[in-house]
Structure 1
């Protein structure tokens, strides 16, 4: 009980400081284990990367795999059994001093390496750093395991599914089929997350400034309207966008570049129109917006380049203020300025929460962050 109260307090304090999202409710079914409220009874032999965990009362030694983002002094340990995964997990709470990123003159970065990246479905990421283009292939994780996923879903539909309204319990065969389907989906998610971390870590280590466009992933993956003749095409497009993970890719790359003191610029898509604008003369071609148009040819200056490379080049020029037909003021280039049009939520709970998080960050530089290791 004492360990549970501490974790709840830690979760809400981290949320108010802006370090984590709002705490989620966790059912008792997902919490079968025990907690060591102090450092007695267990010991960690690690410097933040791999290591071993020793439980003195059980006289066992568990190998730890993984690397913690921050490491410090271990304070509490929670051992939990996940029945859905049929595995044991050890969660170690570590007290660390979170270093604040340094910007501008205080930073060691020279802010000369700039990269503009465009996200797509055929090519996952297309980058341009002013001298050369680089295309990162779309791995298509869903399509690789789609036959197995369809087979598992078909088997599950043949079993007796649960129905709460009619008070029908699921059959044991349905539970087994649902577990097989969940394992395949979990494998797809883990593969995508691992690939995203590797790609974003590589880009953030080589560049100090990242440039991209503001994407509304929720709106892009919205269902087709009723009566639409292209319903199947929209379903396929949504699946491809979610398979790449536009939102998570942007978040990962942003926080990794900013963590080392870099800057990420999000250009306004509706004003810039990177997929319709010519990077050489600045003319806007409305027919370029069609997704079937994969190669752009400007009828005014004769510029020729593929769609994704053109978008990355336009964003790179716009961030440096060299894009013809587009302004070079700070607001349009993605930099916040005193004349920027920002909405003010005067007296709202949103503004109050933001002020509290900023105040807590400035007053307290230390926090406790849990590091989750897989036991076994």
Structure 2
């Protein structure tokens, strides 16, 4: 029995082409500095500008609340430098906040300075004190460093009370409103002091956020993040870890001190045991955790939470009930978004949109 011959001339069946998807796959990839990216940046800036202008037209109370948000956001931006980007836990940033506030209060009340001229002085003073406080970070870390900063925060009210002739001690330091008159070039009168402070706080917040953005993207910022992620690897790569840690405390203290200056102008009354205790330091840490550590806009979200969550929970319950509700809201936020609100939103946005670095320009070596 013979097998049937195989016909090699039978044409093979050609594979069918796969139909291309009409819709683009997500995420949508956008290159930095491209036209779509520039359009998104312009739209974002327009939204920020619209919100700022809207806040400038609110009533006195609502505008004052937004001013507090801007002040606390500045302080949290400073804390974000040392805790978010450097990875060093600081529990005593209320002392930097208070140091900036008392610098403004003493210079205005005792020496007759104009309030806005005290901000550079407080910035430099808090920077120097931050460098001193950051020296232990060269040798210790973790819980031990947190205890050092805790001691700094606890000692600040006692130091203020010790120099009673200068700071007012336990009685506090009251700044007369007439000494907080807006400068003549601003166009605001004494009755419009709230609007002047709002615009000052918002402009300073935007400037500080821009400066911090550039710092993080600089070589020092890369060294900062590298030290946080792996200190040994950063040191092996040539990073001066001691300098990076110390400078992070200096820069952080200076920025937080600026927030304290604005707080003194806003409150016009300083009492160390009321406004600059560990509760204030914990509030700054809570704001940083809620907004998101090592994020650009997280401090703003955190400041909104610090100002408005106690305000709205106090309407529901009074006293201990308000504190319990505040704690429940904080725990819920931490469980829902452990990386913070901005961190969680960023994770969701990256599923739809991814921004990649721009194409580097070719290097032309000159003869």
Fold-level match, TM-score > 0.5? no
Per the normalisation by structure 2, the TM-score is 0.25
Which of the two has higher C-alpha Rg? Answer: 2
TM-score by length of 1: 0.25
* Structure with higher helix content: 2
Higher relative contact order (CA 8 A, sep 6+): 2
- Name whichever structure is richer in strand by fraction: 1
